[in-house]
Structure 1
């Protein structure tokens, strides 16, 4: 009797050995940007800002902004404002995301839910959350609730649409294959649809996070006594440009840090996916 060799053909072995190298090249090409280039970009941006301020534009110089930052930090104003704004953004963003994910799944998985909910989602999505501030004040007063509500809406609509798209874009071949193997709808939803939708959900959360920070300044128009947006509005009255720049930079830095955390979560949760 002839013996079947279990040794892989040379071509197969070569391709198997080349696969990790290919993945490494892809990771290098599409992975994190080099730290050196990021540093150069930041330095160039600050240099352009400094030149514009020296050229006569109505901009404070970087040293003036740094000095003002130190003053606000020393007297505790910056910490108080930052904590107030972070609390509002985190509560509104987290509540909006938590509410959006099940609604998006429901719309994507059940046609009847899509028919009932989608028209209202699309209708209210076209209304800017800031346009609802007068209504929020009338219904909820001038406390923290209306501020959090408008941030909640900004995060909710961004995340619900992305979650819905994640469900409807799941490869039907995967669902059909699971059904052929005997999986019930519940198992298919949990083990196929949910993992495949995670990238869309996280992208929606990142967009919602940006919308939450963008809404913050206007939300703090509602009788706020502390907050980065409130401080910037007060600085506008007195033409205090360094304070305005401090607020802008702090919002940008903390928003970027939170976005990077979501991006890290995306890499951890979707590491099984092939990167193109």
Structure 2
């Protein structure tokens, strides 16, 4: 499936500063970048960096002068999604996890799984398989947390979301991650471009490590699961911020868009009914 994604950002730079952007689509086994371009106005020095895990792509901008800086990114991406039935997949014990998975078991800045241990185990601990547990977590979040724009801020954590029972996609993702980790299920933050998201914006959800695969979940149910173009993953939003600012800089505009441009009709994939009724997903 082919998607055309774009991002436009504008910053008012008050003093010489550095920006580290995280807006490039990732190159993965299931995601191929066919074409992309990044335009900075006025021209500044750009350096592309890769995260230590080899996935996330960063663009570091050294901005020596004051004034407005405009950033435009476009990419044509070919995505492949594989639908698997994980309801009866063989469970992998922690002792056999790959070392790269282990950091996603631990509490992090926005995902305090240690504080949510009792909630997670009392609510989901008796569910039969890890897949069913994660499915139940996303269903519980959707039913108990109101999607409410502007209600939370950059300091809001999973623990805050439980008590406030409201938030945006970032908060839904952090809560899902924290509850998974409290059940000893590795989980990581996912940010990307989102097809059919209204209004258009960057979108956050999460992946859980099940049966040796990273499986995508979105507790907001705002978009089809196969309508995402991955930008970054991390322990939480701190690892996958769209922009990290070092200096006297103010964001004046930010937009993101994702268009489906494949010739074949788009067939959305959702988790449709509870797996307890015998259906995993379509």
Between Structure 1 and Structure 2, which shows a larger proportion of strand residues? 2
Find the structure with the greater CA-based Rg. Answer: 1
Report the TM-score range of the alignment, normalised by the length of the smaller protein. Answer: under 0.3
TM-score, reference length from structure 2: 0.25
For normalisation by structure 1, the TM-score amounts to: 0.25
